């Protein structure tokens, strides 16, 4: 048997293998085919002047494409398609932060997008909703209030008294506390937004429904 004829037999086998592996992700499939091709070429090097039967025996030992495909289908973990966040998740984060400036309605839309997204878990949705309702608009409103200085003018002894009149500056909170509160109101929602963004971008974060479908799919493993 000539080398060319042997090559043709092996080539036919690899084509059948490639077809049998069509259920695998493309990169995994081409990797497996190249591994088997390498295996066959190493096995062939050990044969001196192989006959057609020798090559056919060799391919028999490698196994039917179906047997290899069945084994490959059981590879763990199952090929879970990553479902990173898309436009909905991006919009949700932006609206949670800034939507409050759109008469508060924008924030409500953000919450709706957050809860209908299939990327975040309930824990993260609760976090995104409660920290902080209204987003940065709340920070601005509250911050405006805590830093407001109200003036009160009082003259203890009446207008003709010698006691000097006093102007009292009063704030709802001491100035330092007000600044800390304001900083917190800005930083905390931003941190939560960054967290939500990172979760949404994480590869492998999948919709539970997709996972359920993959788990119930037959795996061919004995």
Q: Which residues bind another protein (CB under 8 A)?
A: 17, 28, 32, 35-36, 38-39, 42-43, 61-64, 67-68, 71-72, 74-77, 222
Check if the beta carbon of residue 96 is closer than 8 Å to that of residue 133.
no
In this complex, which beta carbon is closest to another protein, that of residue 64 or of residue 88? Answer: 64
Output 29 or 111, the one with its CB closest to another protein: 29
Question: In the complex with another protein, which residue's Cβ is closer, 161 or 211?
Answer: 211
Enter the tokens of residue 220: 């061919």
Contact 186, 142 (CB under 8 A): no
Asked if omega into 149 is within 30° of 0 (cis), the reply is no
Q: Minimum Å distance from CB 204 to another protein?
A: 13
Identify the helix (H) or strand (E) that includes residue 213.
Answer: helix 208-216
Taking the complex as a whole, how short is the minimal distance between the CB of residue 28 and another protein, in angstroms? 8
Length of the chain: 222
DSSP state of 172: S
Smaller CB separation from another protein, 72 or 147: 72
**Dist CA 137 CA 24 (whole Å):** 49
Helix, strand, or coil here: 169?
strand
Nearest distance in Å: CB 68, another protein:
4
CB of 67 to another protein, least distance (A): 5
Q: Minimum distance between the CB of residue 1 and another protein, rounded to whole angstroms?
A: 21
Radius of gyration of the chain (CA): 35
Which of 64/138 has CB closer to another protein?
64
């Amino acid at each position: 048997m000539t080398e060319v004829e042997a090559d043709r037999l092996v080539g036919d086998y690899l084509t059948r293998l490639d077809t049998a592996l069509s259920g695998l992700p493309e990169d995994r499939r081409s990797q497996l085919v190249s591994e088997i091709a390498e295996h066959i070429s190493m096995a062939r090097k050990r044969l001196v002047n192989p006959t057609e039967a020798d090559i056919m025996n060799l391919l028999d030992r490698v196994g039917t494409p179906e047997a290899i495909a069945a084994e490959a289908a059981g590879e763990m973990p199952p090929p879970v398609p990553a479902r990173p966040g898309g436009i909905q998740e991006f919009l949700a984060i932006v609206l949670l932060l800034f939507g409050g400036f759109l008469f508060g309605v924008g924030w409500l839309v953000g919450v709706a997008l957050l809860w209908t997204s299939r990327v975040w878990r309930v824990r993260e949705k609760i976090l995104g909703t409660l920290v902080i309702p209204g987003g940065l608009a709340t920070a601005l409103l509250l911050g405006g209030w805590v830093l407001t200085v109200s003036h009160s003018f009082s003259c203890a002894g009446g207008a003709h008294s010698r006691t000097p009149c006093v102007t009292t500056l009063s704030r709802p909170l001491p100035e330092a506390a007000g600044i800390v509160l304001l900083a917190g109101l800005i930083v905390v929602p931003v941190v939560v937004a960054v967290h939500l963004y990172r979760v949404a971008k994480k590869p492998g974060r999948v919709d539970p429904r997709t996972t359920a479908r993959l788990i119930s799919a037959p795996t061919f493993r004995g």
